[in-house]
Amino acid sequence: MDVEEKTGKAFYMAAFATTWVFAFAVYLLLTAGSGAVLGLWAGGELKLGILIAFVVAAASSSIFGKEVSGRMLNPLRWLRMLGYVCGGFFMEMAKANWDVAQRVLTGRIRPGIVRVETGMRTDTGLVMLANSITLTPGTLTVEVDPVARELFVHMLQVPEGMEARTSIEARELFVGYDCPAAIRRMAE
Amino acid sequence: MGVLLNILMVPAILVGLFFNTMGVLGILRFPDFYTRLHADTKATTFGSVFTSLAVILWAFKAWLASGHDGQFVNLAVHAGFAVVVLAVTNATGAHALARSAYRSGLKPKQAVVDRMDGVGASAVAVPESPEALPAAAIREEAS
């Protein structure tokens, strides 16, 4: 966790501006196609969106701004994240879904909870890894240990021999693509 | 173009339906809470990605046919947004359900290994109720 000074006027302004931009972007996304400004938006929607973004920023910048670290505001990281979600992670999800669909039909399962060493240094990385694990069928994050940076993962199919080991590497939860390494490149 | 989009739409709907059906069957067939969570949260997310993809393709087709009517852009963007929100909330929701179930004392059935047995309370130190913590510690945990 970043131990920065997260008080004072400058931080408040930065948090407010970040929240405002996010709120306005989401509003723009949801009202796309409403009119002719830039081919997509109605003028009234834009004005209302600017106002609503101020209300949202005033109400939630103290919560939202605190969670946003400067590192994740870099648009390049967002592009990489999009590439990760649509590329390697999607293939991983497809393979795992097919596997789980077969297990639903055959009923051959070998469930269990294993301890996973993540090696993630930041909270963002840990959250992304935990979510990736949960979204991949067959693995489900049950508990997070934020101090030891470990996850407890429920697996639908524990491979032979894994149940004897005290802890495993995060990479072993994925079949082909090395998701933890990709997350480390993106978030850390 | 419209024909091509129609051809792409049908497999998207079929794949989506297949995985959603597997999710429903999984709820009925799997033995305990945790294994059922696997079926109903993950298979349905993946299935809904494909049904939403079909919606986006349909919106694109209607957008072309209607002479670039903005309401179909709106429909496509909303469908895409729904997928993102569904993916994020399904992952966090599944985790929250599993975590609360384990803390309530529900043990996984047929498990070959349970590394959380006994560790849950001590290593991941969280008290039974929020009242047991001073206010400052609760804020710390929430942040």
* pLDDT above 80 for B21: yes
pLDDT of amino acid B55? 92
* pLDDT above 80 for A115: yes
Closest CA to A136 of B3, B10, B46, B15: B46
- Where exactly are the structural domains of chain A? 8-68, 79-187
pLDDT of amino acid B93? 87
The nearest CA of chain B is from the CA of A101 a distance in Å of 6
Angstrom distance (rounded) from CA A92 to CA B95: 19
Highest-scoring range by mean pLDDT, A88-92, A127-131, B40-44, B93-97: B93-97
Size of interface A-B (CB pairs under 8 A): 146
Could you report the per-residue pLDDT of A140-168, keeping only the tens digit for each? 888 888 787 888 888 888 877 777 777 77
Q: Which residues of B, range 72-111, sit inside 8 Å of A by Cβ?
A: 72-75, 77-78, 81, 87-88, 90-92, 94-95, 98-99, 102, 108-111
Distances A142 to A134, A148, A153, B98, B106 between C-alpha atoms, Å: 9, 15, 6, 5, 12
Cβ pair A94, B46 in contact under 8 A: yes
Burial of B67 (0-12, 13-18, 19+ CB in 10 A): exposed
Q: Which residues of A, range 137-166, sit inside 8 Å of B by Cβ?
A: 137-138, 140-145, 148, 152, 154, 156, 158, 162-164, 166
Across chain A, mean pLDDT equals 79
- Where exactly are the structural domains of chain B? 2-111
Q: Which residues of B, range 42-71, sit inside 8 Å of A by Cβ?
A: 42-43, 45-46, 70-71
Chain A residues closer than 8 Å to B59 by CB: none
CB contact under 8 A, A130 and B95: yes
Answer whether A124 touches B (CB < 8 Å). no
Give me the amino acid identity at B34. Y
Closest CA to A152 of A125, A116, A101: A116
Per DSSP, helices labelled H in chain A are 8-30, 43-67, 75-86, 88-106, 123-135, 179-187
Answer whether B37 touches A (CB < 8 Å). yes
Answer whether A80 touches B (CB < 8 Å). no
Closest CA to A152 of B118, B129, B3, B68: B118
Question: Which pair of tokens denotes residue B46?
Answer: 């993946």
pLDDT of amino acid A174? 77
Number of Cα atoms under 13 Å in the Cβ half of residue A42 = 11
pLDDT of amino acid A41? 81
Give me the amino acid identity at A131. N
pLDDT of amino acid B14? 93
* pLDDT above 70 for A71: no
